[in-house]
């Protein structure tokens, strides 16, 4: 991967750097020339605590902050813990950006979520539609807490000239994803369910909803590259989608993953469970225009990589 001069002699702090995206981002940063990367451990710093935020910044002395840290999960846990997801995401982000501004951190890269988009956003989602309605109810507290970082970034740029940017990655997937069925997103959940069913000889798998919603997915290595490219060369107030530009229904996704893992049984759709947002796919033209980012990984190849990773590591996963 191309090395860039941007990271030379710059200290970068990656909150959430030990998470799924964070581990890939660390590797991508190093491949692009970053040598001084600080990842605050959750055991050492509670980023919802202002004193810990100040101590973390004093320890890291960063020139750039990439804020990935989030309390996040699928529809189930969003419904169970909406207050936690609102408070923790708001308090991990807003005080951190304020302290970064006050302490002279050169650039703040805020990672938002497409859960911030209105429930019935026209497809493909364009960044200018972000404020056209209320988000889908099951993940609105999380989405709105993250969206406040966009408001903060824009207002701090307007009033203080502070260089904060806001990126909106679509649903991520890839090797190292979260395969815990209580908290995972749809791709790792489907992979695990189908492989478990195949190995135990079950001839049917129960899936949430009715299969009609659509989703877009971005391979985690593409997302890491896009974040780095934005950090290096994008310096403006407009939010930017990071996606692949593809759209697939949950039903078609389930059929594809079942085929790839060799599960030949039936699907039972539990329509008492929520579907989530009806359609989700991004307009990705702004990322191409502003910092020349386009996704590179083919979807089926990316799924195969993810399935192979799970098969190699499933004995170590709860």
Q: What is the CATH number of domain 5-173+218-245+280-296?
A: 3.40.50.720
**Percent with pLDDT over 90 in the chain:** 86
The band of 1, judged by pLDDT with boundaries at 50, 70 and 90, is very low
Average pLDDT of span 125-144 = 94
**Encoded tokens for 201:** 């000889």
Average pLDDT of span 248-276 = 93
Residue 3 is predicted with a pLDDT of 60
Residue 11 is predicted with a pLDDT of 98
Average pLDDT of span 77-88 = 87
Average pLDDT of span 160-175 = 97
In this predicted model, what pLDDT tens digit does every residue of 289-308 receive, in sequence order?
999 999 999 999 999 999 99
In this predicted model, what pLDDT tens digit does every residue of 64-81 receive, in sequence order?
999 999 987 666 767 788
Does pLDDT of 2 surpass 60?
no
Residues comprising the chain, all counted: 318
45, 101, 117, 142: which is the annotated catalytic residue? 142
Alpha-helical regions (H) of the chain: 20-31, 50-60, 75-80, 82-102, 140-160, 186-200, 220-233, 250-261, 285-291, 299-313
Sign of CA dihedral 107, 294, 8, 44: positive
- Number of neighbouring beta carbons within 10 Å of residue 178: 17
Annotation says 142 is catalytic: yes
């Amino acid at each position: 991967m191309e090395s860039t001069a941007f990271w030379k002699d710059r200290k970068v702090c990656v909150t959430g750097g030990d998470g799924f995206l964070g581990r890939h981002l660390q590797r991508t940063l190093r491949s692009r020339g970053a040598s001084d990367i600080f990842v605050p451990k959750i055991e050492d710093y509670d980023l919802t605590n202002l004193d810990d935020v100040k101590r973390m910044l004093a320890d890291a002395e960063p020139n750039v902050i990439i804020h990935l840290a989030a309390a996040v999960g699928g529809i189930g846990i969003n419904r169970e813990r909406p207050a936690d997801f609102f408070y923790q995401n708001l308090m991990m982000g807003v005080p951190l950006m304020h302290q970064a501004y006050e302490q002279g951190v050169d650039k703040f890269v805020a990672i938002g979520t497409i859960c911030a988009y209105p429930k019935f956003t026209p497809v493909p989602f364009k960044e200018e539609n972000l404020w056209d309605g209320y988000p889908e109810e099951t993940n609105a507290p999380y989405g709105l807490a993250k969206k406040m970082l966009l408001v903060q970034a824009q207002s701090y740029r307007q009033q203080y000239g502070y260089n904060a940017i806001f990126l909106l990655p679509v649903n991520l997937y890839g090797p190292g994803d979260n395969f815990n069925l209580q908290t995972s997103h749809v791709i790792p959940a489907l992979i695990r369910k189908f492989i478990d069913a195949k190995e135990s000889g079950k001839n049917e798998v129960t899936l949430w909803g009715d299969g009609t919603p659509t989703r877009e997915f971005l391979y985690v290595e593409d997302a890491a590259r896009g974040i780095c490219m934005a950090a290096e060369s994008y310096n403006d107030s407009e939010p930017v989608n990071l996606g692949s530009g593809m759209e697939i229904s949950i039903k078609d996704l389930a059929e594809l993953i079942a085929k790839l893992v060799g599960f030949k049984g039936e699907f039972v759709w539990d329509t008492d469970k929520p579907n989530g947002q009806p359609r989700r796919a991004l307009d990705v033209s702004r990322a191409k225009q502003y910092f020349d980012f386009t996704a590179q990984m083919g979807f089926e190849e990316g799924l195969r990589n993810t399935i192979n990773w799970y098969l190699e590591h499933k004995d170590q996963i709860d």
